[in-house]
Structure 1
Amino acid sequence: MANTKSAKKATRKIEVRTAVNKARRSRVRTFIRNVEEAIAAGDQVKAAAALKSAEPEIMRAAQKGVVAGNTASRKVSRLAQAVRKLSA
Structure 2
Amino acid sequence: MANHKSAIKRHKQSLQRAVRNRAARTRVKNAIKEVRAAIQNKDKAQATTALSAAASVLAKAAGKGALHWKKAARKVSRLSRAINGIEAA
Match of 1:84 in 2: 84
> How far 1:85 moved relative to its partner?
1.3
| SS of match in other structure, 1:14 | helix
| SS of match in other structure, 1:10 | helix
> How far 1:68 moved relative to its partner?
1.1
- Provide the rounded CA distance (Å) in 1 between the counterparts of 2:87 and 2:72: 23
Q: Identify unmatched segments of 5+ residues in structure 1.
A: none
Runs of 4+ in 1 over 3 A off after TM superposition: none
TM-score in terms of structure 1 length:
0.94
Structure 2 letter corresponding to 1:79: L
Match of 1:65 in 2: 65
| SS of match in other structure, 1:67 | coil
Structure 2 letter corresponding to 1:64: K
Match of 2:6 in 1: 6
TM-score in terms of structure 2 length:
0.93
User: Over aligned residues, Cα RMSD in angstroms?
Assistant: 0.9
| SS of match in other structure, 1:63 | helix
| SS of match in other structure, 1:3 | coil
> How far 1:28 moved relative to its partner?
0.5
- Give the number of aligned pairs: 88
Q: How does 1:1-88 map to 2 (within 5 A)?
A: 1-88=1-88
> How far 1:6 moved relative to its partner?
1.2
| SS of match in other structure, 2:15 | helix
| SS of match in other structure, 2:2 | coil
Q: Identify unmatched segments of 5+ residues in structure 2.
A: none
Structure 2 letter corresponding to 1:48: T
State percent identity of aligned pairs: 40
